[in-house]
Amino acid sequence: MRYLTNTLSGLILMVLFYNCNRGPYAATNKQYKKQAKEFANLLKQTPPRDSLPQMVSAWVGTTNFNMRKPNFVVIHHTAQNSCDQTLKTFTLTRTQVSAHYVICKDGTIHHMLNDLLRAWHGGIAKWGNNTDINSSSIGIEIDNNGTDEFSDAQISSLLQLLGNLKKAYAIPVANFIGHSDIAPTRKVDPNVHFPWKKLADSGFGYWWNDTTRVVVPQNFNSLQALRIIGYDIKDSTAVIKTFKRKYLQQEGNAVLTDSDRKILYTLYRKFE
């Protein structure tokens, strides 16, 4: 009897241990695998279901293809109060929002989606002629309530991650951007404290040069320069505020001073 009791107790402890070690996201991890498998099955279809039978005579599979790869990295702040809160948000179907990576205040990086899959992080956005940013980008969310400074551990982890992504996918220097860059009328992240210059110094994005001896041509068009950099200039007020938040690290009006125009001019020259 004692043996049976000990055995049952042992089994109960094993079950409890197993359940505890499955973690709070065991169910969503299982759902992730299920959805990924469904997409894999779609890729294996020959011919694919999206073919138009009335227009296609025959399926002939080419041997020259590979996976699509990301060409942009879009950086966000979470605008939430903790990493756990963000992880929960990104694992609830009803929120309809996600990212590839989440970086916590202690520098911990959570990988939430295969880089080759499309996350829902950019929303309605535009950069240059690209109006479907989600399909060509990796989204990185940094745990930050929207007003605080970013921790050294977060930025250190971010730089390491960006280095890996840049090398893996040959992402151009200019294509490391912020959420507010692609959606200036809707978003302000990452906030005014984000160290864009530090990223640029490491090869992720461009920064402006010393403007002491810069002479801006009289015919220099500031809005067209912002467009060439990549901004959608339909709302000039929002774009100028976004530009000043990022490159001058200040919140304020939508007026470009002579000093601001010099900074814009040095940046514009990098994108010509």
Residues 181 and 114 in one domain: yes
CA distance 20 to 211: 58
**Does the pLDDT at position 3 exceed 70?**
no
Q: What's the whole-number mean pLDDT along residues 220-240? A: 98
Same domain? 79 vs 182: yes
Which residue would you say has higher pLDDT here, 107 or 7?
A: 107
- Domain containing residue 253: 222-271
Of 201, 235, 255, the one marking the end of a domain is 201
State whether 115 and 191 are in the same domain.
Answer: yes
Q: Are residues 192 and 266 in the same domain?
A: no
The answer to the question of residue 18 being in a domain is no
Report d(CA 144, CA 141) in Å as an integer: 9
pLDDT in tens, 75-102: 999 999 999 999 999 999 999 999 999 9
| Residue 272, helix vs strand vs coil | coil
In 3D space, the residue among 138, 133, 109, 251 whose CA is nearest the CA of residue 181 turns out to be 133
Q: For 78, what's the count of Cα atoms within 13 Å in the CB-facing half-sphere? A: 26
CATH number at residue 108: 3.40.80.10
pLDDT higher than threshold 70 for residue 134: yes
> 192 and 230: one domain?
no
Task: Indicate if 242 and 179 belong to the same structural domain.
Answer: no
| Mean pLDDT score, 173-200 | 98
Whether residue 139 is found in the same domain as residue 245: no
Whether residue 259 is found in the same domain as residue 162: no
- pLDDT of 11 above 50: no
Mean residue pLDDT of the chain comes to 91
| Residue 264: DSSP 8-state | H
175 and 80 in a common domain: yes
The model's confidence at residue 5, banded by pLDDT at 50, 70 and 90, is very low
Of 38, 141, 149, 272, the active-site residue reads 141
Higher pLDDT, 118 or 272: 118
The pLDDT, as a whole number, for residue 7 is 45
- pLDDT tens for 40-81 read 998 888 877 766 666 777 888 899 998 889 999 999 999 999
What is the three-state SS of 165-232? HHHHHCCCHHHEEEHHHHCCCCCCCCCCCCCHHHHHHCCCCCCCCCCCCCCCCCCCCHHHHHHHHCCC
The secondary structure element, H or E, covering residue 162 is helix 152-169
Active site residue 149: no
Among 102, 113, 37, which residue's Cα sits nearest to residue 70?
113
Q: Which helix (H) or strand (E) segment is 102 a member of?
A: strand 101-103
Do 84 and 145 have their domain in common?
yes
Chain mean position to CA 196: 15
**130 three-state secondary structure:** strand
Please tell me whether residues 263 and 160 are part of one structural domain: no
> 101-103 and 109-111 as β-strands: parallel, antiparallel, unpaired?
antiparallel
What is the pTM assigned to this prediction? 0.90
Give the number of domains in the chain: 2
